[in-house]
Every structure is written in C-alpha cells, then in structure tokens.
Amino acid sequence: MLLRTVYLSLDPYMRGRMSDAPSYAPPVEVGDVMVGSTVSRVEASHCAGFAVGDWVLSQSGWQESALSDGKGVFNLGARLEHPSYALGLLGMPGFTAYMGLLDIGKPKAGETVVVAAATGAVGSVVGQVAKLKGCRVVGVAGGAEKCRYAVEELGFDACLDHHDPALKELLAKACPKGIDVYFESVGGVVFDAVLPLLNACARIPLCGMIAHYNDSKLSPGPDRTAQVMGTFLKRRVRVQGFIIFDDYGSQFGEFQQQMSAWFAAGKIKYREDVVDGLEHAPEAFIGLLKGKNFGKLVVRVGGETA
C-alpha cells in the first residue's frame, strides 16, 4: 500500500539513532531514511485489512510517503477525532509514562512524586496520573511559563525551573516529606537536586537522560559513582531502566483503554507543539534537545483530508 504521511512524531530516542555508540537499537545508516513514527493515510492498498482513506500508525520515518506491505502498521480506522494523539498521549510517550510510573514507580496515595521534563509528552502524563493516584506531585521544567502551566493547567502541586541556581533548596522546600518516586528523564542538575531528598525505599523509573544525549565524552569533575551508589544502598532505592515496547509491549491495549477513558472523562489534559512542514523537522528536533518544545512535538507533513 501507499501511505501518505500526515503527522511525524519527533522523539528524543532519535538522537541515539544518529550515533554509532552501542545502544539497544542500531543506528540509521548514512543515506537511509531517518526513522520515526507517523500517522499516515492509506492512498492505495493491495493489503488485506487496509482501505483507501484509513488512518494508520506506521513507522514511515521522515518522508512524505512510504510503500508498505502492512507489517508493523496499525489500522486506526477511517474516522479519528485527534489523529496525531496516536503519537503522544495515546501512543508511545503516554504508554511510557503509564507503565514507568505505575509498574516501576508504584506510587501510593500520600507519597511525593517528582517528575522531570514535567510538561513534555511523557512527564505531563506521569504527573497527572500520579495526581489521580493521590500523590503530591512536584514537577521540574524549563522556565516560568512551563512551570505555571504544570501547576495551573495540569494540577501539579508545585513545579520548579531547572535553570534556577537555587533548585536544590527550592526542591527541598517543595518536598518537605522527601521524595518517594523520582521519574527520571533528564539527569544533570535535576538528578543532583533529587538525590539528597530520596526517602528510604524510594523508586526511580529510569526513563531517559536527555540532558546527556549530546554528550560525546564524560562530564568533567570528580567521579561520583561511589556517592550515588552509596546513597542508593543506604536508602535501599530501587532504580530500574526500561525500554517501553521491549518491556511492556503486551500491555499496550490495556493502556490505550485506560488512557482513552481518562481523557474522555477530562481527567488527563494534553498539549501538542505542532510544527508545519517536513523541511522544519531537523530544526524542531534540535530544539527538542534544548527544551524549545512546549508539549508533545509533532510535525504536520501533509493535510488531514484524503
């Protein structure tokens, strides 16, 4: 079948595909199409189960159209209210937030949850689900506008700017009972501020380290491995990395049902940052690694109508 790309998702993992350092997936070779999830429309089909006009979730990559034999393509149906949501809230990032928080973080009512990259595709969902579970939620985000949004729109109890030199002191004030769950997506100064506040038996879903994706060598300064590992040991902290579809793929249906119901009931809010034109994808992707996006970053590649 012939698929026409309507929305292309831009995600931090793509940085790893542009590097030949060892990773859980091989890099994209020079000359290949850059990988990426898309929401596309079927323009012509000889594949059973796919008709012209259907919306599909596909791995078409950074291109305007793609030929597909249907393998790994998910039919979303002919009518969709929010087609691009399949790349965010109802897709991979929402699923990452849901499983990482609930299965690894195991938040209990009354506990304090700190979430990094708090207004992004993953973080905004982590914080809202933690609120639904009755937790105190403190976000960390880049800039006053994002922090205001996290509190006023997403309902977090507090949100702190990671550019503030007083982050450590401010985080300690915002977490008077310490931190029970830290949803880690960033590393850097955010992790440094969190470490001293971790409670006994705290959990850290280790989702990402975006502050370090552009690093090409070890950060300068003393080796702090012993201090960090010693803190984990003494406070009996559980840290678990995860790669969402490798670890939880079989639970995607369950997640979609629950998240769609929460969204329909107005319990979860969702914000997108839509960039127009495939030619702007590289610039938008570079911006993602610097916090220029505000909400889930997608590129509108073509028009929605068939």
Interacting residues toward ligand NAP by CB under 6 A: 11-13, 93, 96, 117, 119-123, 141-142, 146, 162, 185-186, 188, 207-208, 210-211, 242-244, 288-291, 293, 296
Closest by Cα among 156, 158, 110, 100 to 133? 110
The CB-of-207 to ligand NAP minimum distance in angstroms stands at 4
Comparison of 1 and 91: residue with beta carbon closer to ligand NAP: 91
Q: How distant, in Å, are the alpha carbons of 94, 119, 123, 171, 259 from that of 264?
A: 15, 20, 20, 33, 8
Comparison of 236 and 292: residue with beta carbon closer to ligand NAP: 292
The two three-digit tokens of residue 299, written as one number = 């590129």
Comparison of 25 and 229: residue with beta carbon closer to ligand NAP: 25
The CB-of-79 to ligand NAP minimum distance in angstroms stands at 27
Comparison of 64 and 164: residue with beta carbon closer to ligand NAP: 164
The CB-of-238 to ligand NAP minimum distance in angstroms stands at 16
The two three-digit tokens of residue 276, written as one number = 């127009």
Cβ–Cβ contacts within 10 Å for residue 243, how many? 14
The CB-of-40 to ligand NAP minimum distance in angstroms stands at 20
Q: Which residue has the tokens 């995600």?
A: 11
Cα–Cα distance, 188 to 76 (Å, whole number): 38
The CB-of-204 to ligand NAP minimum distance in angstroms stands at 13
Length of the chain: 306
Comparison of 42 and 137: residue with beta carbon closer to ligand NAP: 137
* SS3 assignment, position 38: strand
DSSP 34: P
